[in-house]
Homo-oligomer: A and B are copies of this chain.
């Protein structure tokens, strides 16, 4: 059976006319002789609306009931799609999580799909039907509705593609694919035809809002090819696939950036073994993610300066935790919210020397001062003043020939 999994995001099913359009897209795949399994998100805005209802009921709303309320959103949209396909003369029906069933484990609101009963769906596909599955939901061992944290309906689509050994998994969304940078900032940014999971992971966690990192990680783990494309036009999107499928002359695939980082510098920290651990332990315990870290050797050997970045939303909490931390001593704390992280990403850099030099040199020529540096195997990130953001992304996009 040649199976394709199609997943439609919230904006793709965000109105009646868009749902009708989704039905046309599904039919186009049927006409190519594919067996189609559809995963639907809730209509855009619906999940927030439902979530707000629970917040008004209680500031501490019970997780199992929260999941039951939220799951209604996908229940509605998947039935609307099936109804539309029926109207167009196609055999189709909705499947809620419990009707498949899709089994999950883990906590409510953060559950993970662990298994899928394929029988009902396979039987229905063999009859020529188009099953429309509610994304983002499953049931646990207590027969209660759970929602999938970390990736939501994208994760549902990837797991369904895995269990049904689908030939393709297409994520229909409101962006045309993965770009070499944000087209809003860099008009010359180009759509990337193929990108490896690893590159995409670095790109997505660095700010390209195409798919959530956890969904890409799922796809990578299960070796599922994913095409990300727009449901609003008929253009080919970007394929996220295994590294060996990606052949490109470009060392660097993209330049990504963030706008929600904040930099904290602790000046004159008493330097002794374990001081960094003493600083970061309370942050870790409060689920605050520290991103870039740099420690300067001070001229005074008994003191050091420590700089690190966190998400802006965690700033107030972080400063409070540091000021209340009795295990550390420092002279001054300096906060800078007007910073941005700019990153170049590409598997090519593993085998190509001189990438770091080219990056720093290009930035230096434009007088962009580098505040902090961090690197991984396939990316180099620098922290710069927010005012230099566009200049920095622009020069790197040109330097690594992504403009063409």
Q: Which residues of A contact B (CB under 8 A)?
A: 16, 19-20, 50, 53-54, 56-58, 60-62, 64-66, 68-69, 71-72, 75-76, 79-80, 82-84, 86-87, 93-94, 96, 98-99, 143-145
Verify B82–A62 contact, CB threshold 8 A: yes
A380 to B56, CA, bound (A): 50
Verify B53–A65 contact, CB threshold 8 A: no
> A98: nearest residue on chain B (CB-CB)?
B98
Verify B72–A57 contact, CB threshold 8 A: no
Contact of A83 among B58, B71, B72, B99 (CB under 8 A): B58
Q: Point out the residues of chain B lying under 8 angstroms from A80, CB to CB.
A: 53-54, 57, 65, 69
* Copy total for this chain: 2
Verify B76–A64 contact, CB threshold 8 A: no
Show 17 residue pairs from A and B whose CB-CB distance is below 8 angstroms, ordered by the A residue: A16-B56, A16-B57, A20-B57, A54-B83, A58-B83, A61-B86, A62-B82, A62-B83, A65-B79, A65-B82, A65-B94, A66-B83, A69-B76, A69-B79, A69-B80, A72-B75, A96-B145
Known: A80-B54, A80-B57, A83-B58. Contact between A93 and B72, CB under 8 A? no
Chain B proximity of A145: nearest CB distance (Å): 8
Verify A99–B65 contact, CB threshold 8 A: no
Chain B proximity of A26: nearest CB distance (Å): 14
Chain B proximity of A240: nearest CB distance (Å): 32
Q: Point out the residues of chain B lying under 8 angstroms from A58, CB to CB.
A: 83-84, 86-87
Q: Point out the residues of chain B lying under 8 angstroms from A76, CB to CB.
A: 50, 53, 69, 72
> A17: nearest residue on chain B (CB-CB)?
B56
A64 to B66, CA, bound (A): 25
Verify A57–B87 contact, CB threshold 8 A: yes
A19 to B143, CA, bound (A): 26
A113 to B66, CA, bound (A): 28
Q: Point out the residues of chain B lying under 8 angstroms from A143, CB to CB.
A: 99
Chain B proximity of A320: nearest CB distance (Å): 28
Verify A79–B86 contact, CB threshold 8 A: no
> A53: nearest residue on chain B (CB-CB)?
B80
A245 to B76, CA, bound (A): 45
Verify B64–A93 contact, CB threshold 8 A: yes
Known: A64-B93, A68-B94, A94-B65. Contact between A144 and B99, CB under 8 A? yes
Contact of A93 among B65, B71, B75 (CB under 8 A): B65
> A134: nearest residue on chain B (CB-CB)?
B68
Q: Point out the residues of chain B lying under 8 angstroms from A54, CB to CB.
A: 80, 83
> A69: nearest residue on chain B (CB-CB)?
B79
Known: A98-B98, A99-B143. Contact between A83 and B65, CB under 8 A? yes
Q: Point out the residues of chain B lying under 8 angstroms from A96, CB to CB.
A: 68, 145
Known: A83-B66, A86-B62, A93-B65. Contact between A16 and B53, CB under 8 A? yes
Q: Point out the residues of chain B lying under 8 angstroms from A144, CB to CB.
A: 93, 99
